[in-house]
C-alpha cells in the first residue's frame, strides 16, 4: 500500500511513521490546492494521512495571536485535501481533536455525533469547523485525540508538559495513549473505516492525578500544587477544554484500549529508564 503522510515532522506524524515506515513524506503545503493535486497525480497513493495542523508553541495560547496561520493549517488545508482527494476517490485519514467539547455530557461522555459545545479557544474552534465539515463526506476517517501521551521525552508528550508545571489542574478528562491509539488506528485503516471515531482510552483522569502517579512511580521528590478550574483563567490566555468522550463506538469495533490509568502508569514505568527514579531525601 502506497501511503502519503502530511505533517511527518510533527509529534503525531512522527508516530505514524512507526506503523507506516515506508510512507512518502511530501514537502507540499496542504493549503495549496494546485500543488497538492499535482502531487497526488504524480504519486497516486492508496492512502493519505493528514497529521498536519497547528496546536501552538508552547501551547494553544499561541493560536490566539497567530490566527491566520492556525486557520490555514487547521481549516484551509483539510478542506483542500477534502476537495483534491475526493475528486480522485482517494481514501484518507484526518487527525482531529476532542478539544471541541466541554464537560462530561451529564456523565455519559460525548459521542461522535454530538455537536461541538466549546468555543473558548481559537484552536478549538478551528478544529471543530474542519471536523464538522469533513464528517459529512465519504472516503475520510476522522480520528479525534485528546491530550496524547506516551513514554517519550518529547516536549509534546502530555506527561513531559505536566512535569514542568508548578501547579497542575485537577479536572477529569479523557486522554489518548499514543501506543494504544496507533494499534487502533491501524486496525481502522486496514478495515477502510470512515466517519468519526473518538480515539481515547476508557475512563478519566485529571492532570493532577497523573502527577500524583508520577510522584509515586518516578519521582517521590517532585513537588507541585493543585490548580482548580476557578484558578485556571488567571494563568492562561485562551480557555482550555476539559471534557470526557465516549469510546463505545471504538469498542464496538472490538478495539478496546486499556484504561487511561493503566496506560498512564505503564508510560511512567517505561520513563524510569531515561530519567531514573529520584530517592527520598
C-alpha cell at 17: 511513521
Predicted confidence band at 281 (pLDDT cuts at 50, 70, 90)?
very low
* Cα Rg of the chain, angstroms: 19
pLDDT score of 227:
86
Q: What is the pTM of this model?
A: 0.93
The torsion angles phi and psi of 122, rounded to 5 degrees, stand at -65, -40
Q: Which three cell numbers stand for residue 225?
A: 500544587
Residues 166-223: tens digit of each pLDDT: 999 999 999 999 999 999 999 999 999 999 999 999 999 999 999 999 999 999 999 9
Topology (CATH level 3) of domain 3-275: Rossmann fold (3.40.50)
Q: How far apart are CA 263 and CA 166, in angstroms?
A: 24
Q: Yes or no: say if 108 and 193 are a contact pair by the CB < 8 Å rule.
A: no
pLDDT tens sequence across 114-168: 999 999 899 999 999 999 999 999 999 999 999 999 999 998 999 999 999 899 9
* Banded pLDDT at 235 (limits 50, 70, 90): low
Give Cα separations from 218 to 158, 263, 265, 269 (angstroms): 15, 15, 10, 7
Q: Are 30 and 197 in contact (CB under 8 A)?
A: no
End-to-end CA distance of the chain: 55
Mean confidence (pLDDT) of the chain: 93
Contact 107, 96 (CB under 8 A): no
Amino acid at each position: 500500500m502506497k501511503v502519503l503522510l502530511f505533517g511527518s515532522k510533527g509529534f503525531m506524524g512522527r508516530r505514524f511513521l512507526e506503523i507506516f515506515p515506508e510512507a512518502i513524506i511530501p514537502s507540499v503545503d496542504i493549503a495549496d490546492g494546485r500543488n497538492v493535486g499535482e502531487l497526488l497525480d504524480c504519486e497516486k497513493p492508496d492512502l493519505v494521512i493528514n497529521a498536519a495542523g497547528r496546536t501552538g508553541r508552547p501551547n494553544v495560547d499561541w493560536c490566539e495571536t497567530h490566527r491566520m496561520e492556525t486557520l490555514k493549517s487547521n481549516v484551509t488545508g483539510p478542506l483542500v485535501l477534502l476537495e483534491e482527494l475526493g475528486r480522485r476517490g482517494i481514501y484518507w485519514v484526518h487527525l482531529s481533536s476532542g478539544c471541541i467539547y466541554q464537560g462530561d455530557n451529564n456523565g455519559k461522555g460525548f459521542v461522535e455525533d454530538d455537536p461541538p459545545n466549546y468555543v473558548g479557544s481559537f484552536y478549538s474552534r478551528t478544529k471543530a469547523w474542519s471536523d464538522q465539515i469533513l464528517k459529512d463526506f465519504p472516503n475520510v476517517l476522522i480520528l479525534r485525540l485528546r491530550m496524547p501521551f506516551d513514554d517519550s521525552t518529547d516536549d509534546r508528550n502530555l506527561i513531559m508538559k505536566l512535569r514542568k508545571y508548578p501547579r497542575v489542574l485537577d479536572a477529569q478528562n479523557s486522554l489518548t495513549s499514543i501506543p494504544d491509539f496507533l494499534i487502533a488506528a491501524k486496525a481502522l485503516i486496514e478495515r477502510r473505516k470512515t466517519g468519526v471515531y473518538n480515539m481515547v482510552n476508557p475512563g478519566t483522569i485529571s492532570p493532577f492525578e497523573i502527577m500524583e502517579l508520577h510522584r509515586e512511580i518516578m519521582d517521590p521528590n517532585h513537588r507541585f500544587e493543585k490548580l482548580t478550574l476557578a484558578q485556571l483563567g488567571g494563568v492562561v490566555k485562551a480557555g482550555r477544554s476539559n471534557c470526557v468522550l465516549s469510546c463505545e463506538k471504538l469498542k464496538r469495533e472490538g478495539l478496546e484500549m486499556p484504561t487511561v490509568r493503566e496506560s498512564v502508569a505503564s508510560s511512567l514505568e517505561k520513563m524510569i529508564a531515561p530519567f531514573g527514579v529520584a530517592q527520598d531525601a
